[in-house]
Amino acid sequence: MLYSTNFAGVRSGEMESLDFRVEAKMSVEEIAYAVREACLSEKLESVSTCAYINLTTKEDNKFTIRLSPRGFEVSLVTLTLIRYSW
The predicted structure's pLDDT at residue 54: 94
Structure confidence at residue 72 (pLDDT): 94
pLDDT band at 13 (very low <50, low <70, confident <90, very high): low
pLDDT at 3: 35
Q: Domain segments of the chain: what residues?
A: 5-78
Answer yes or no: are the C-beta atoms of 59 and 79 closer than 8 Å.
no
pLDDT at 4 over 50: no
The pLDDT score that the predictor gives to residue 16 is 64
**In CATH, what is the architecture of 5-78?**
2-Layer Sandwich (3.30)
* AA letter at 84: Y
Give residue-wise pLDDT tens across range 37-81.
999 999 999 999 999 999 999 999 999 999 999 999 998 887 655
pLDDT in tens, 19-28: 999 999 999 9
pTM: 0.72
Cα–Cα distance measured from residue 59 to residue 79, given in angstroms and rounded to the nearest whole number: 12
